[in-house]
């Protein structure tokens, strides 16, 4: 941490800062410039917030943090990429699905479980097309109280049946600490939705379970805040965490969100955790899903989570961004097509 | 709702939309232009999401919603402004504090309750300066797990003691459904923090209690989403709701948030609920709090919620945006100064 | 500037940075922590960009700027607020209108000059209601080439006639270096529109003239970037600059822009230049203009610039955010009403 | 256009709207719902702004535009993708470089031309690595007046020499109408920088020349606004336009901009114009350029524009986001590597 004194800071004010840095458990280190003085707080055992609060001390211009605030999720803590295994030992799923390994994992399924028929048809369809995991919402966070809120436990039972039928491990969203135990009985992976990324009570509860967590980035969360939310899980005891980029809120209204694909690369640079991408929420537009899914893999995502519905125009939620089964098949085929070639001028070295 | 057909839509595709609008419980109404056809879904009893999902039906360009999606919170539902009474019957507080009446309510206190001494000193100080309610965090939502997380129940007891001592009703944040009953025993008003604005499990639980709720706007919530979050409370049975603007996330890094004061005016135009403003989070900068507090009152806010700490540079949280007691007194005095006069040219009519 | 070395930086890499800092004209100052080393570049004569570029040197984590990059516009350069006089010596306007003095200057008029009748009626109306200056667009920056682009020189002549008639000094927008001389003949103040805030060729040209400039903040410009745009004018020789906040682009779609009133206070804290606010573009909504105009004055704005049209529903541009003359009169009256009083509990000290 | 009447609109107010729609050159078409009435303005010859302004007419709730406002740039106007040829007939460049054809065009070079040596070394290096075009700034738009502003005409001469030497067509930025003729003599393609995307005087001037234009998206421009800026060029007579996505401004500070790769796919869906992507400005981070370049190609970009400098840590501008020649070679090689394979469960259909 660096405390940047103002031009007019007095010697007494500088002394005060030096003393406060010591009280906070750091060593002070003073650099006197021609115009201003900066005081660094050096060491790793001190209390950061006490230095931050010095920004309002007399004679201080501002306080700048140097080191990243997250620890266990960082590459420094674990230089090798983590691999999270989902559904291990769960009957047909055998050894489980590995997210973060050499291959890209596609998770597919409807936004919401609407009926037994709808889910089983979708599960079989996405499996046939090559999906490795099944998604489906039982408890739905909806902007309006008048929208479909999910089938709850009935949906969980249908998800379990789909897993038995197809062998695909299941991920579903948890919205409340009170539902954690129940959902753990039925699902292989628990999703923290974007709007709950900083629901710290929920994160603390999920840190205590043994199931892997899919942690979506909040619509206004910086990559740093996202990694700090993951830090709640790791520091609480659960290191089976997969991050999920799903688009952020910006001024652009041509798509539902701005899909921040570069953030996938940045998160993987800063952290050892696997990162998957959600092209459905990322764009909100059926017609763009194929293109951005390819881009997500190209940028380094360890997986995709895609909304698929047998009949999107009849979906109870997220119809506009859902693929039907035929469209999903086509997208899956495109995912292994080679990249478009470069135009190389004749004279360049081959 | 309006379904906007593409230029190349066939008659068959238009018929399909007409039929689907009927199935969704609306009456279809077709307008044929020279280039394109639009089909309106008319009526109030239909299922909106079924029309929204038609955006992916063949021949459809897009679907546009006309009416606002919120109901009970809207001015249409209740043209007169609501008044929410906090702390009624609570001993010294007498008839309680009315938010939304003719006078502006100032709520003040520390970000976190840190100790008995800190809170009591602050409570007495802010009361002396004219605050009508006391704030103080017992359970703190913190970006990092390594930051101070609040004193919990111990803080609640100290808050109650401060209320006994000063007569000021108390508002404190609730982060989890599991804490609702406990906090209800101690506090006069429960705050839903910005990061929990769309924690729908929490909103549904708070809809069932009798205490008033202070609902902060999420850092990336539109005014419409904020009002829909309030709609969860009203539709669930609790209409004692006060909205709180506290700044949104934008590209501007010179302040902690962008304080959206115009949104206060917009929220009051769209809804009958009282709106207060939080200049501390809104700017994150001690030096700006006086100016933006005056602006908040000028724009129509029914109250302010301000962070005050006996020694901001020693605060365990939010030090950089906290006022000390002397600064708070000065800000309070400024709040009744007249607006700067206009320069009126000599020739203008007086 | 601070160069923050990574944990794994070698001694050789640190030496390299020290040498590069010297080459860039600064003195290096090394602070060795337990985990990492930081190297400060001290002094005022060096080349900042050379230090910035070190962020890609081997062993460097990042580079942090400490001092503000602007100079002449800053409070350090001139602690007293600047006053800019518009229209001095221009016949009837007498001593000119002072922006940044003890009184608030209201500038009003139509978005575009559409006809002689429209402008003269508006000019007389806004003067009657107390406006001190007249606005009106001759050259219009329009998002679409198919929208009304302004009457050009014809509009300039009408503006001059309105000034003769009313004595109100005139501000109008300049979009191109090629129009500067012509507009200088007709107008008292030249406006740089939001979309041209970083049109540096235009700024450099305007730095060479003697007329005052109204510099609008770009829709995605930080306060820092805005002040640096003003720095182009001051460093080029024109210090008659008034800043204008007119709303920024954010995710909120309920209003045309997010009116950043706190930025008015921040700009005035960082700079000595006067700041006016544009409630018309700031919100884009006629019904909110009164409330946010009051807020702009309360937060410290030195003036307002308001769009007024005799018949907004027939305006060729910006109809939805224009006031008619009656509405403008009402808004003007409200601007001197006292602020809503506080609710002070009986026991507080009076 | 749809005029949405409020619940309380009177019959007289509806009649007024019907009449105004006729006056604006459209046919009115009324739909009466149970709660509200909407009036569509049908036809293609009317004046849109007159309908937009009706949002402030009595009894009107809001006005909604249905059709896209751009024409010549749209897929409707030209369903087949356009191909723009740069440098045709220019000596060694032979038939020119085709952007928008079956192959991806890589444009590379320094942010600024700093010296003859620097540029020639870079030009030869990027050609060797497979670049098809050369970039280099002669006139630089810089946030601060104290930063390096480019070598101007001297740089143009060096660029021409590099083109002679390598045969690579050259693109360079134009900042002012006054420089257009001069730059046309030296460069094969003129770039409109992000900050000038809505410099309409410049766009109108560039619409009159015969050279192709590279139109960067503004940092806060929606895709719609970007296409409307291109519409200025096409409607003015120049249809040799290539769009360039270079990142937008959002709350995320971990990267210089938020690289909006999905917007590449959206722009190509809405328009026939070629789209290239700028990973250097898109992320501002050397270490991410390889990953996001691959993603840009995967999402459908017709080209890349990449900053390359012989020694980024000594660059006069944009050092932190520039690749050195070795890094550029490596990135180029990666661009033809296959996408990471999918994990396909054993039981899926092959």
pLDDT tens digits, A233-265? 999 999 999 999 999 999 999 999 999 999 999
Name the residue of chain A whose CA is nearest to D225's CA: A252
Across all residues in chain B, what is the average pLDDT?
93
Name the residue of chain A whose CA is nearest to C253's CA: A251
Compute the nearest-CA separation of A84 from chain C (Å).
28
Nearest to B61 by CA among C256, A112, A290, D75: D75
Chain B residues touching residue D34 (CB < 8 angstroms):
42-44
Note the pLDDT of residue C347: 62
Cβ distance of C69 and D231 shorter than 8 Å: no
Q: Which of B195, B200, B232 sits opposite A198 (nearest CB)?
A: B195
Nearest to C1 by CA among C47, C61, C35: C47
Q: Is the pLDDT of residue D52 over 80?
A: yes
Cβ distance of D251 and A343 shorter than 8 Å: no
User: At C89, is the pLDDT very low, low, confident or very high (cuts 50, 70, 90)?
Assistant: low
pLDDT digits (tens, 9 = 90+) for C157-166: 999 999 999 9
Chain C residues touching residue B298 (CB < 8 angstroms):
291, 294-295, 297-299, 339
In the predicted model, what is the mean pLDDT of residues B161-178?
96
| DSSP secondary structure letter of residue A195 | G
Q: Which of C103, C251, C340 sits opposite B103 (nearest CB)?
A: C340
Note the pLDDT of residue C298: 98
Compute the nearest-CA separation of C55 from chain A (Å).
13
Across all residues in chain A, what is the average pLDDT?
93
In the predicted model, what is the mean pLDDT of residues C84-107?
84
Q: Is the pLDDT of residue B91 over 70?
A: no
Q: Is the pLDDT of residue D318 over 60?
A: yes
In this structure, the number of other CB atoms found within 10 A of the CB of residue B298 comes to 27
Sheet holding A60-64, edge to edge: A27-32, A37-42, A2-5, A60-64
Phi, psi for residue D118 in degrees, rounded to 5: -55, -45
Across all residues in chain D, what is the average pLDDT?
93
Chain C residues touching residue D227 (CB < 8 angstroms):
none
Compute the nearest-CA separation of A317 from chain B (Å).
7
Residue with the larger pLDDT of the pair D232 and A31 = D232
Structure tokens of B146?
């390594």
Q: Which of A167, A254, A339 sits opposite D298 (nearest CB)?
A: A339
Chain B residues touching residue C167 (CB < 8 angstroms):
345, 347
DSSP structure string for C293-318? HHHHHHHT-SEEEEEB-SSGGG-SS-
Cβ distance of D228 and C178 shorter than 8 Å: no
Note the pLDDT of residue B53: 87
Nearest to B300 by CA among B273, B340, B321: B273
User: At B302, is the pLDDT very low, low, confident or very high (cuts 50, 70, 90)?
Assistant: very high
Residue with the larger pLDDT of the pair D174 and C346 = D174
Compute the nearest-CA separation of A226 from chain B (Å).
9
Structure tokens of A24?
């906070």
D112, D114, D117, D121 alpha-carbon torsion, rounded to 10°: -20
Note the pLDDT of residue A198: 96
Which of A3-17, A55-69, D163-177 has the lowest average pLDDT?
A55-69
Residue with the larger pLDDT of the pair B34 and A197 = A197
Q: Is the pLDDT of residue B195 over 90?
A: yes
Q: Is the pLDDT of residue C92 over 60?
A: no
Which of B196-205, D208-217, D311-320 has the lowest average pLDDT?
D311-320
C309, C226, C277, B320 alpha-carbon torsion, rounded to 10°: 150
Residue C124 buriedness (CB in 10 A; 0-12 / 13-18 / 19+): middle
In the predicted model, what is the mean pLDDT of residues C130-155?
94
Compute the nearest-CA separation of D92 from chain C (Å).
34
Note the pLDDT of residue B350: 42
Q: Is the pLDDT of residue A32 over 90?
A: no
Instruction: Find which of D55, D114, D145 to mutate to test the C interface (most C CBs within 10 Å of its CB).
Output: D145
Chain B residues touching residue A71 (CB < 8 angstroms):
146
Compute the nearest-CA separation of A96 from chain D (Å).
10
Q: Is the pLDDT of residue B90 over 60?
A: no
Q: Is the pLDDT of residue B212 over 90?
A: yes
Q: Is the pLDDT of residue A45 over 80?
A: no
Q: Is the pLDDT of residue D174 over 80?
A: yes
Alpha helices in A100-243 (DSSP H): 116-129, 153-166, 180-186, 200-206, 223-236
Chain A residues touching residue C253 (CB < 8 angstroms):
253
Note the pLDDT of residue B94: 59
Q: What is the rounded CA–CA span in Å between residue A298 and residue A265? A: 10
User: At C45, is the pLDDT very low, low, confident or very high (cuts 50, 70, 90)?
Assistant: confident
Q: What is the rounded CA–CA span in Å between residue C82 and residue C271? A: 9
Note the pLDDT of residue B347: 62
Note the pLDDT of residue D13: 94
Compute the nearest-CA separation of D80 from chain C (Å).
23
Chains within contact range of chain D (3+ C-beta pairs < 8 Å): A, B, C
pLDDT digits (tens, 9 = 90+) for D69-78: 889 999 989 9
Chain A residues touching residue B148 (CB < 8 angstroms):
49
Alpha helices in chain A (DSSP H): 11-23, 48-52, 116-129, 153-166, 180-186, 200-206, 223-236, 261-270, 279-283, 289-299, 325-334
Note the pLDDT of residue A350: 42
pLDDT digits (tens, 9 = 90+) for C99-137: 999 999 999 999 999 999 999 999 999 999 999 999 999
**How many residues does this entry show for chain D?**
350
In the predicted model, what is the mean pLDDT of residues B172-178?
96
Cβ distance of A32 and C42 shorter than 8 Å: yes
Q: What is the rounded CA–CA span in Å between residue A79 and residue A83? A: 13
Q: Is the pLDDT of residue C328 over 70?
A: yes
Question: Is the C-alpha dihedral spanning A299, A305, A311, A315 positive or negative?
Answer: negative
Note the pLDDT of residue D90: 52
Compute the nearest-CA separation of C177 from chain D (Å).
8
pLDDT digits (tens, 9 = 90+) for D83-100: 999 997 654 545 799 999
User: At C90, is the pLDDT very low, low, confident or very high (cuts 50, 70, 90)?
Assistant: low
Phi, psi for residue A135 in degrees, rounded to 5: -115, 160
Beta-bridged to residue B277, according to DSSP, are B245, B304
Q: Is the pLDDT of residue D124 over 70?
A: yes
In the predicted model, what is the mean pLDDT of residues C281-290?
96
DSSP structure string for D191-241? EEPGGGTT-HHHHHHHTTSSS-EEEEPPTT--HHHHHHHHHHHHHHT---E
Cβ distance of B292 and C265 shorter than 8 Å: yes
pLDDT digits (tens, 9 = 90+) for A138-174: 999 999 898 888 999 999 999 999 999 999 999 999 9
Residue A314 buriedness (CB in 10 A; 0-12 / 13-18 / 19+): middle
Chains within contact range of chain A (3+ C-beta pairs < 8 Å): B, C, D
Across all residues in chain C, what is the average pLDDT?
93
Instruction: Find which of D16, D53, D181 to mutate to test the C interface (most C CBs within 10 Å of its CB).
Output: D53
Chains within contact range of chain B (3+ C-beta pairs < 8 Å): A, C, D
Cβ distance of D198 and C195 shorter than 8 Å: yes
B19, B23, B26, B27 alpha-carbon torsion, rounded to 10°: 30
Q: Which of A105, A266, A294 sits opposite D299 (nearest CB)?
A: A294
Name the residue of chain A whose CA is nearest to C75's CA: A7
Note the pLDDT of residue B1: 85
Q: Which of A143, A225, A312 sits opposite B225 (nearest CB)?
A: A143
Instruction: Tell me if A111 sits within 8 A of A315, measured CB to CB.
Output: yes
In the predicted model, what is the mean pLDDT of residues C58-63?
90
Structure tokens of C274?
């006067």
Which of C260-274, C324-338, D62-76 has the lowest average pLDDT?
D62-76
Q: Is the pLDDT of residue B176 over 80?
A: yes
Cβ distance of B348 and C261 shorter than 8 Å: no
Q: Is the pLDDT of residue D219 over 90?
A: yes
In the predicted model, what is the mean pLDDT of residues A13-23?
93
Which of A93-107, B88-102, B246-260, D150-164 has the lowest average pLDDT?
B88-102
Q: Which of C224, C248, C269 sits opposite B250 (nearest CB)?
A: C248
Chains within contact range of chain C (3+ C-beta pairs < 8 Å): A, B, D
Chain B residues touching residue D18 (CB < 8 angstroms):
none
In the predicted model, what is the mean pLDDT of residues B138-161?
93
């Amino acid at each position: 941490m660096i405390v940047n004194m103002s031009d007019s800071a007095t010697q007494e004010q500088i002394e005060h800062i030096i003393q406060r840095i010591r009280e906070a458990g750091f060593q002070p280190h003073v650099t006197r410039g021609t115009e201003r003085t900066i005081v660094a707080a050096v060491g790793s055992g001190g209390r950061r917030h006490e230095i931050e609060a010095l920004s309002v001390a007399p004679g201080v211009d501002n306080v700048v943090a140097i080191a990243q605030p997250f620890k266990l999720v960082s590459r420094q803590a674990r230089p090798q990429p983590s691999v999270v295994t989902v559904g291990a030992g769960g009957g047909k799923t055998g050894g489980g699905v590995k997210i973060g390994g050499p291959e890209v994992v596609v998770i597919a399924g409807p936004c919401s479980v609407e009926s037994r028929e709808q889910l089983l048809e979708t599960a079989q369809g996405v499996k046939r097309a090559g999906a490795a995991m099944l998604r489906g919402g039982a408890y739905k966070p909806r902007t309006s109280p008048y929208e479909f809120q999910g089938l709850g436990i009935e949906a969980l039972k249908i998800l379990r049946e789909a897993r038995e039928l197809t062998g695909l491990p299941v991920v579903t969203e948890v919205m409340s600490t009170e539902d954690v135990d129940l959902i753990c009985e039925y699902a292989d992976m628990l999703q923290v939705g974007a709007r709950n990324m900083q629901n710290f009570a929920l994160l603390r509860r999920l840190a205590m379970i043994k199931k892997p967590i899919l942690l979506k980035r909040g619509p206004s969360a910086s990559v740093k805040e996202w990694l700090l939310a993951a830090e709640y899980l790791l520091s609480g005891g659960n290191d089976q965490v997969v991050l999920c980029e799903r688009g952020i809120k910006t001024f652009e209204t041509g798509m539902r969100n701005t899909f921040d694909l570069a953030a996938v690369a940045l998160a993987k640079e800063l952290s050892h955790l696997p990162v998957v991408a959600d092209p459905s929420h990322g764009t909100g537009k059926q017609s763009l899903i194929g293109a951005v899914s390819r881009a997500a893999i190209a940028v380094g995502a360890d997986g995709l989570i895609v909304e698929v519905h047998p009949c999107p125009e009849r979906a109870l939620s997220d119809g506009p961004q859902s693929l039907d089964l035929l469209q999903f098949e086509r997208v899956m085929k495109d995912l292994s097509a080679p990249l478009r070639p470069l135009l190389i001028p004749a004279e360049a070295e081959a």
